[in-house]
Amino acid sequence: MSDMPRSEYPRPQFVRDDWLCLNGEWGFEIDRGDSGIHRGLLDRELKGRITVPFCPESQLSGIENHDYYNAVWYRRVAMIPAEWAGKRVLLHFQAVDYDSAVWVNGVEVGRHRGGFTPFSCDLSGVAEAGDEITIVLRARDDGQRPQPRGKQAREYGPHGAIYVRTTGIWQTVWLEPAPAIALRRPRITPDLANRRFLLEQPLSGNAAGLRLRATVSDAAGLVVSAQCAAEYDLSPRLDLPIPEERLRLWGPGAPHLYDLEIELLDTEGATVDSARSYAGMRGIAIDGRAIKINGATVFQRLVLDQGYYPDGIMTAPSDDALREDIELSLAAGFNGARLHQKVFEERFLYHADRLGYLVWGEFGDWGCRENGPIDGEHQKPGPDYITQWLECLARDYSHPSIVGWCPLNETWQSLTDRITALDDVTRGMYLATKAMDSTRPTLDTSGYSHRVPEADVYDSHDYTQDPDTFRARHAGLAAGEPYVNSADSWGLPERMAGNINWSIPYRGQPYFVSEFGGIWWNPEVKAGEDSWGYGERPRDLEEFYDRFEKLCAILLNDVNMFGYCYTQLTDILQEQNGIYKYDRGLKFDLGRIRAAQQKAAAIELADSRSS
């Protein structure tokens, strides 16, 4: 598999040994009229070729066409390994944008809506071990249709903070064998207070005499093993206590991970199914306005990471590129990231787990509003938002690096006496998050229209470039009157946003400025070239450093501020406000960028004094 693009195992927290990567060359055809079914594309060879898993807009796909598509078709012949005899065959797509239909040997085997999450097709009754199969996928992706698309442009081309579209397959495609009664993705919950992991292990079915066994180990060997009957519940649970002498915590700078082996056993003790995983022991708590990790206040020095690449767009060119982005962030002095307007490849979270990198997971919800702030009744996000977000939460629940959730971003909506469609979706997204995961803090929305009173965290976005104005805006937090985004604060006329108030009142939650900075700097831009950033450009490099240092210091010195998120990690196309260039090249003296952030935060010092 070494010559195959993105050939690493795509599901690192639920690993089976047997699998077959289907990345590489596929047949491909653009179907702008979405008439492919009628024109027989299901039953014939396609006209072009594409390199999967890279989208057709990308250079790495071999196509690099940025026009609207509406629909695209893929075709691939594959051989199911004969040694998988007696098992079901599962066909996995890690992500396809946006509406997918899948046929194998002319039989429809799956449908899925949503561009960010994986889906699987069970080939039972259609194909089995030793068979040659023909896989056909149609992806519908109307570039102008209202749908969650993150930073993908609805207009013809990228502009401002909006980038190139992604259509069709953009993550790994693969085959996997599984027994008739099989393990499904586990939910692993660290319980630091009781020094244990809780394992919930969903099964595809039950049978008399089946048992579930889980074994935790580390570099020194076995830590704990436990088992229980697996015939009574579709999701049996195991308690995995960690002895005090073997307890090591996961956290920034010390990301210890335990290995976990999960086995489904029959009445004779033979293995029916097995998978490997891992887990990190860490706890997240809210203490006043502080968010604590493992009982200690950690100021979250986050960077906004959009996850775009010059040659792969939303798909990293290699697994190393995912890891290297985290290393670049750490080198600049950040300890984590908001993964912004995109559900990242799961391999990114695997590297974050290994490197002790804090992550806020986010849904790519943008795409259901017109340009500019408008009335919530006209934004019309639907129940598909909640459906797709639930899939994101199910995929990523067990990653210790995730320390918070952000289901929505910058929902612009005036606060009136009416409950709007966006109010319903905002509350639905929040409740879905808390129902799936009660262990992590959750925003109702990042910035702008806070509408859920019980949300764990409150925030604002502030791209003010003048440090004095920035300091004055945030001086009221100590008195419980933080800066809150509104139409008035953005200088927008009321006719564009109705009532100038967008949010319910702050009630004392942990608070952070979850977007700031965005300092526009690219001295290499030439006259006539497209370039964009926030506010007025610094006159020279020294002014950039002065502005960056002062903005960071204002937030670090605020004893009531639990963190910040600087915009952004890299330049992306015309948006040139990154710490690094789009190709990840250096723009600044990293020593100065790092030094500006390494001062002990006031909220951390207050915690150390009190303890």
State pLDDT tens for residues 571-604: 999 999 999 999 999 999 999 999 999 999 999 9
Which DSSP helix (H) or strand (E) runs through 21?
strand 20-21
What span, in angstroms and rounded, lies between the C-alpha atoms of 454 and 510? 12
Residue ranges of domains in the chain: 20-178, 187-280, 285-610
What is the band of 422 on the pLDDT scale with cuts at 50, 70, 90?
A: confident
- Six-digit token pair at 555? 């937030």
Q: Which CATH class is domain 20-178?
A: mainly beta
Confidence (pLDDT) at 373: 42
What is the band of 371 on the pLDDT scale with cuts at 50, 70, 90?
A: very low
What is the band of 491 on the pLDDT scale with cuts at 50, 70, 90?
A: low
Confidence (pLDDT) at 495: 46
Q: Cβ–Cβ contacts within 10 Å for residue 45, how many?
A: 8
CATH code linked to domain 187-280: 2.60.40.10
CATH code linked to domain 285-610: 3.20.20.80
Burial zone of 581 (CB within 10 Å; 0-12 exposed, 13-18 middle, 19+ buried): middle
Q: Tell me: the pLDDT tens digits for 180-199?
A: 999 999 999 999 999 999 99
Confidence (pLDDT) at 332: 98
**Is pLDDT above 80 for 374?**
no
Confidence (pLDDT) at 484: 93
Strands 107-113 and 284-287: unpaired
Q: Which residue has the tokens 């401002």?
A: 160
**Is pLDDT above 50 for 375?**
no
**Average pLDDT rounded to a whole number, residues 113-134:** 97
Strands 70-79 and 24-30: antiparallel
Confidence (pLDDT) at 421: 83
What is the band of 378 on the pLDDT scale with cuts at 50, 70, 90?
A: very low
Confidence (pLDDT) at 488: 63
Burial zone of 510 (CB within 10 Å; 0-12 exposed, 13-18 middle, 19+ buried): buried
Q: Tell me: the pLDDT tens digits for 270-317?
A: 999 999 999 999 999 999 999 999 999 999 999 999 999 999 999 999
Q: Tell me: the pLDDT tens digits for 43-75?
A: 999 999 999 999 999 999 999 999 999 999 999
CB contact at 8 A, 184 and 120: no
What is the band of 381 on the pLDDT scale with cuts at 50, 70, 90?
A: low
Q: Tell me: the pLDDT tens digits for 75-98?
A: 999 999 999 999 999 999 999 999
**Is pLDDT above 70 for 247?**
yes
What span, in angstroms and rounded, lies between the C-alpha atoms of 176 and 90? 5
Confidence (pLDDT) at 145: 81
Confidence (pLDDT) at 427: 94
Confidence (pLDDT) at 414: 78
Confidence (pLDDT) at 611: 66
Lowest mean pLDDT segment, chosen from 155-164, 216-225, 499-508, 529-538? 499-508
Confidence (pLDDT) at 3: 84
Confidence (pLDDT) at 609: 80
The answer to whether the Cα torsion of 560, 595, 522, 366 is positive or negative is negative
CB contact at 8 A, 36 and 373: no
**Average pLDDT rounded to a whole number, residues 390-414:** 95
What is the band of 269 on the pLDDT scale with cuts at 50, 70, 90?
A: very high
Confidence (pLDDT) at 240: 98
Confidence (pLDDT) at 376: 42
Strand partners, 50: 26
**Is pLDDT above 90 for 143?**
no
Query: E strands of 417-532, at which residues?
Result: 446-448, 458-462, 511-517
**Is pLDDT above 70 for 379?**
no
Separation in Å, CA 157 to CA 164, 232, 328, 514, 570: 7, 55, 29, 27, 20
- Residue 418 CB contacts under 8 Å (≥ 6 apart), including other chains: 377
Q: How much of the chain exceeds pLDDT 90, in percent?
A: 87
Confidence (pLDDT) at 328: 98
Task: Look at 334 and 497; give whichever has higher pLDDT.
Answer: 334
Please name which of 310, 305, 315, 312 lies closest in space to residue 96, comparing C-alpha atoms. Answer: 315
Q: How much of the chain exceeds pLDDT 70, in percent?
A: 95
Q: Which one-letter DSSP state was computed for residue 284?
A: E
Q: What is the mean pLDDT of the chain?
A: 94
